[in-house]
Structure 1
Amino acid sequence: MTEFSVEDARTCVVIGGLGFIGRSLILRLLKLRSWIVRIADSSPPSILVDQKSIISDAISSGRASYFQVDVRDKSQVIRALDGSSVVFHMGNTDPSAHDTYQCYLYIVQGTKNVIAACQECNVKSLIYNSSADVIFDGLHGLHYVDESLKCPWKYEDMLNEFKAQADALFLIADNYDGLRTCVLRPSNVFGPADPYIVPFLVNQANSFLAKLILGTGDNLCDFTYVENVSHAHICAAESLASETVAVAGKEFYITNLEPMKYWEFVSRIYEGLGYKRPMIKLPARICRIMPPLVKWLRNQLGSEFSHQLASAHFAIQSASFTRTFNCSAAQEHIRYLPIISLEEGIGLTVKSFSHLAKESTSAREIDFCEQSKVEKLLGGGKVADILLWRDEKETFTYFLALVLLFYWVLLGGRTFISSASQFLLLAILLLFVHNILPMNIGGFSFQEMPLSSFQISDSGMKYIFGTLACLWNEGIHITKSLAQGEDWDMFLKVAIPLYLLKLILSLPLKLMVAAASVIAFTSFFTYEQYEEEFDAFVKVVCILGGNLKMKLMRNLPAPLSPLFQSDEALY
């Protein structure tokens, strides 16, 4: 390894250096041992204290320094840039900036401040890390497009629109006051410590959404391993210094040069972490109506779900279209070639996220220690264990016994009294045989069933009759409220369930019992598996129902308005 020489080293600044791509770039610059690196980031300096890493060691030895910089303040940017020759701007958005105005300040106004600071500090080269998403309009696929394709006039995603504006500012700034600029547009960057793609997939891994494939699943996408992006930045810096005309004022797409089916990439991540790959394909027609539906929900629900739905909107669009890019310009002019293959990059990424794998210790602790809502609803006892399929063999045994009982009582052609008497006779016979069996037969032990197994305790009887008394008193209270004719909410809550009960009781007894049995053994288990999705759906329905109710109240005839005045006040 060559010794580090301050005289031969060039000074560079990495703005957003503690972000995902910025940190990778810094590590690569330090490994080359020909750069003095200044790290500029909005995070406080304390984030680097007591960290045993290459970056903290480099700061201790003087090969690197740290500046806390808010790009919205040009004076802070100038302080970090003064005396440097190359600036890499990662274009990170502050995580706390959720509203449109703050995003604009960080991305667009921050870009203006960085360019102005570079010009004042006589910086020679400025490389901006943009995104290939700036060319995507959310409506059309991108098939091996190159830099000749212009950005769309209208964007579905706010961040991409601001990044496109920043792109234009960097390209226009080229060759002013001796500053040479270029823009890199990597596509779908992933890798160890990835805060976007892999965490998003893992968060969805146990949901119903993780089982879906939008469309045919044949849409191709370009993915880029993070270390290849860092390599491309250094290639661009070297090329700006030597071949200025071919590189300055230009944008370049950066990929792994290995287009892969989007859903194959997702499946590789899931399988590597122990989850099942998506298998259910949604028809193309449904996929086409999903983005407009999500957009309509954003308008209906307002700011409460705006950011989540915006992310979902863009994710659906990204997963539905082919998006591949021609990197021949980057290969020719900045001499970029990937140094990590896509296969190796996926393997390294999966390995780095092993703590999020399905069979990891933390995952098992979460699965077995946290009680779900439906388990609390069922009381968390034996019934809950059976209906939630905690022990599949035990649950299947009870289900099979229920099926046999159903056949014996309802499908056997017997009357209810004869079926009950025969079943009671069979139960007595089994208990008698069990009682006279020896304790051990051929290595199998039979425990004697104590009399207490068939008795109901005093506390149990008190609980049963107490519950019945509470239900009776609650019914009397509801009946009294209905008799006064003022509580319309109560009337609807009682009338609708009674009407539904009437419809159910009108069905044949066999059908009712069969349906109830199947629902009991499937609905609770299904709800537990997709609890978050069900709750989110119910919340959305309630909000939409509330909005619809308000509109109905406003359009009621004047004579009926006083009847619902108390309800309307609640809204």
Structure 2
Amino acid sequence: MAAAVDDRFADLQNPKTCVVLGGRGFLGRSLVLKLLNLGNWIVRVADSAESIQLRSSESLLSDALSSARASYFHLKLWDKHNVAKVLEGASVIFYMDVAGLNPNDFYSCYTLIVQGAKNVISACRDCKVKRLIYNSSADVVFDGFHDIRNGDESLPYPWKIENIISDFKAQAEALILSANDIDGLLTCALRPSNVFGPGDRDFVPFFLELARIGFSKFIIGTGDNMSDFTFYENVTQAHICAAEALNFQTVSVAGKAFFITNLEPMKFWEFLSLLLEGLGYQRPHTKLPVNLVQLILSVLEWMHDKLGPGGFSYPLLVHFFQLATHNRTFSCAAARKELAYLPIVSLEEGITLTIESFSHLAREQSGCDGSTEQSKAAKLLGGGKVADVLLWRNEKTSFTCFIVMVLLFYWFFLSGSTFISSAAKFLMLVTFLLFGWGTLPSNLFGFQTKRISSSSFKISDSEMKGSVATTVHLLNNNYKNIRRLRKGEDWLMFFKIAIPLYFLKLILSAHKLTTFVGIGLVLAFTAFFVYEQYQSEIDLLAAILFILLNALMRYLMSVLSVLTSRLLHKFRKARPHKEPEVKELT
């Protein structure tokens, strides 16, 4: 036993060869740089890419590759012989996350995670590797339905995990831990919770994508659920601690799993709010009932099962929903005691560094306060004076215009006179007002009377030419449309003209023009204003309706295609097949 201890101390005094599987992933890159900075490791970087592509910020790795302190290997986790070739001669294996997993591809996920873990274990035993540290996840003990408060390593694996990747990682973790102390291999697993930081490709980008499409206003549930988060440099620090602990405290470390967090649990929605605010997005404030979101997810699940992914990742949405509505805090007491783990970057500092690294995805500041960028409602209205009136930019002006429009509506539609009679009376009233105003003295009871300039009634040559050009353009277009209709070939043009004319005919023939004009007047002064105030909520509802409509159309098309094929098959089967007659040539 003494000789074995001496060998381990000698191994620490000389450069050791380690392999970082998944060394070009989010956590793998950080761990590689950490190992090279320590100076007593020879690092093999192994990943799925055939060759390594260095970033400008990876000068340390570039120098290490040039000096043979680091090397790169093309890793094929599904190939046992390739894995053994990569691990041969190494003393420590850091098994990091597998990049590029598609949760909708069951076979690929199983091959890379579960079968990959089996191949790594087998290769470690064949190559006499001493230590294997697996980067697992806190998700392996979370079933998506029950809260976890200060959970420790005694938590069992759930009998069912909704997230397929977490399910496979739990299987891989169990395989690696059960391989401990076989053929001299010592193993342990780390379970970081909600890893984030610069270079993250999943956790933070997913939130930013939701914010970009307008979901940043919403909180699912009460928003009081607590969660643990882990800055990525703290995860790599935990891996270094685990590698050292496997040398000295094999009894208390080998074959076990350890939760890794920042030791600073906080509200999930507060964490998300800090990230979004730091990147210029609105802080979530509108609460959505959990039951409503569950109903929407049920519809999306049906779409996912019946029609396939359809442009969205249902597993990611479900995982986000589970994180956003449950308490998930973990105890790091075992990691602190057995691994001597302590975070080296605080949660506050980690959030700041993450915000800085994702500045290229930040929302433009001009759009945050609404002072320089027009809203969607203003853009729909053209952004001119009409938009200012209908969006109530100046309440006095908008109210005046509304009263004038109501009076005109009453004059032309509700007064009981015909439209022609009302128009004649209106022109007569305008004539009396203009003439009366012109006869007023310049000073009336001490008040100055402003004359209406004659230029107000003049139309410039440019305006007249523009009006004539527009009229001619419309006439020419209508003439072209009539010619296309005359040929009877363009059905799309026919429906474009016929349908609006049919609805206009219904409105006029049913004497409902007054009702439609009145409703249009009210909506013009309310609908755009309401849309501007609740733009995100309305866009969300429209997006949900669009998704449901799209799913319905796809389902109907699939049903119609099946019915059509069946009808054609029955028709062909029922129709007798006649052999073509062959006439002999004489």
Normalised-by-shorter TM-score class: 0.7 to 0.9
Asked if 1 retains the 8 angstrom alpha-carbon contact of 2:261 and 2:330, the reply is yes
Q: Which residue of 1 aligns with 2:447?
A: none
Q: Which residue of 2 aligns with 1:458?
A: 468
Map 1:284-323 → 2, pairs under 5 A:
284-305=290-311, 308-323=313-328
Cα distance in 1 for partners of 2:511, 2:202 equals: 49
Q: Which residue of 2 aligns with 1:405?
A: 404
Deviation sequence 1:54-81 (CA, Å, 0-9, x none): 2212222332221121212222222221
Q: Is 1:435 the equivalent of 2:453?
A: yes
Q: Is 1:144 the equivalent of 2:154?
A: no
Cα distance in 1 for partners of 2:389, 2:275 equals: 28
- CA drift of 1:37 comes to 1.4
Question: Residue 98 and residue 300 in structure 1: after superposition, are their counterparts in 2 closer, same or farther (change >3 A)?
Answer: closer
Asked if 2 retains the 8 angstrom alpha-carbon contact of 1:298 and 1:310, the reply is no
- CA drift of 1:160 comes to 1.2
Question: Residue 359 and residue 209 in structure 1: after superposition, are their counterparts in 2 closer, same or farther (change >3 A)?
Answer: closer
Q: Is 1:357 the equivalent of 2:362?
A: yes
Deviation sequence 1:508-538 (CA, Å, 0-9, x none): 6423322245446666998899879846742
Q: Which moved more, 1:277-286 or 1:165-174?
A: 277-286
Q: Is 1:383 the equivalent of 2:393?
A: no
Q: Is 1:335 the equivalent of 2:340?
A: yes
Cα distance in 2 for partners of 1:296, 1:192 equals: 35
Map 1:130-279 → 2, pairs under 5 A:
130-279=136-285
Cα distance in 2 for partners of 1:498, 1:141 equals: 61
Cα distance in 1 for partners of 2:104, 2:470 equals: 55
Deviation sequence 1:383-425 (CA, Å, 0-9, x none): 3666777998989898567424313413688774345655687
RMSD, aligned CA: 4.6
Map 1:80-95 → 2, pairs under 5 A:
80-95=86-101
Asked if 1 retains the 8 angstrom alpha-carbon contact of 2:196 and 2:229, the reply is yes
- CA drift of 1:204 comes to 2.1
Cα distance in 1 for partners of 2:212, 2:44 equals: 42
Q: Which residue of 2 aligns with 1:75?
A: 81
Q: Which residue of 2 aligns with 1:514?
A: 522
Question: Residue 458 and residue 534 in structure 1: after superposition, are their counterparts in 2 closer, same or farther (change >3 A)?
Answer: same
Asked if 2 retains the 8 angstrom alpha-carbon contact of 1:386 and 1:395, the reply is no
Deviation sequence 1:84-115 (CA, Å, 0-9, x none): 11110003133578521111111111111111
Q: Which residue of 2 aligns with 1:127?
A: 133
Q: Which residue of 1 aligns with 2:574?
A: none
Q: Pick from 542, 555, 559: which aligns with 1:547?
A: 555
Cα distance in 1 for partners of 2:237, 2:389 equals: 50
TM-score, normalising length: structure 1: 0.79
Asked if 1 retains the 8 angstrom alpha-carbon contact of 2:197 and 2:231, the reply is yes
- CA drift of 1:16 comes to 0.5
Deviation sequence 1:136-156 (CA, Å, 0-9, x none): 212222222111111111221
Q: How many residues align?
A: 533
Q: Pick from 106, 115, 119: which aligns with 1:100?
A: 106
Deviation sequence 1:19-53 (CA, Å, 0-9, x none): 11111111211222222211111123241287652
Q: Which moved more, 1:134-143 or 1:266-275?
A: 134-143
Cα distance in 2 for partners of 1:308, 1:497 equals: 43
Asked if 2 retains the 8 angstrom alpha-carbon contact of 1:220 and 1:324, the reply is yes
Cα distance in 1 for partners of 2:542, 2:329 equals: 35
For residue 45 of structure 1, give the secondary structure of its aligned residue in structure 2.
Answer: coil
Cα distance in 1 for partners of 2:505, 2:153 equals: 66
Equivalent residue letter for 1:61: S
- CA drift of 1:459 comes to 2.3
Q: Which moved more, 1:448-457 or 1:328-337?
A: 448-457
Deviation sequence 1:459-488 (CA, Å, 0-9, x none): 211122234456667888999989xxxx9x
- CA drift of 1:297 comes to 2.7
- The percent of aligned pairs where both chains have the same amino acid is 38
Q: Is 1:110 the equivalent of 2:116?
A: yes
Asked if 1 retains the 8 angstrom alpha-carbon contact of 2:215 and 2:540, the reply is no
Asked if 2 retains the 8 angstrom alpha-carbon contact of 1:39 and 1:66, the reply is yes
Question: Residue 43 and residue 373 in structure 1: after superposition, are their counterparts in 2 closer, same or farther (change >3 A)?
Answer: farther
Asked if 2 retains the 8 angstrom alpha-carbon contact of 1:18 and 1:41, the reply is yes
Deviation sequence 1:348-367 (CA, Å, 0-9, x none): 11111122222379999xx9
Larger Rg: 2
Deviation sequence 1:114-136 (CA, Å, 0-9, x none): 11111111111100001111112
- CA drift of 1:249 comes to 0.7
Q: Which moved more, 1:74-83 or 1:183-192?
A: 74-83
Cα distance in 1 for partners of 2:365, 2:516 equals: 49
Asked if 2 retains the 8 angstrom alpha-carbon contact of 1:388 and 1:525, the reply is no
Cα distance in 2 for partners of 1:333, 1:190 equals: 24
For residue 209 of structure 1, give the secondary structure of its aligned residue in structure 2.
Answer: coil
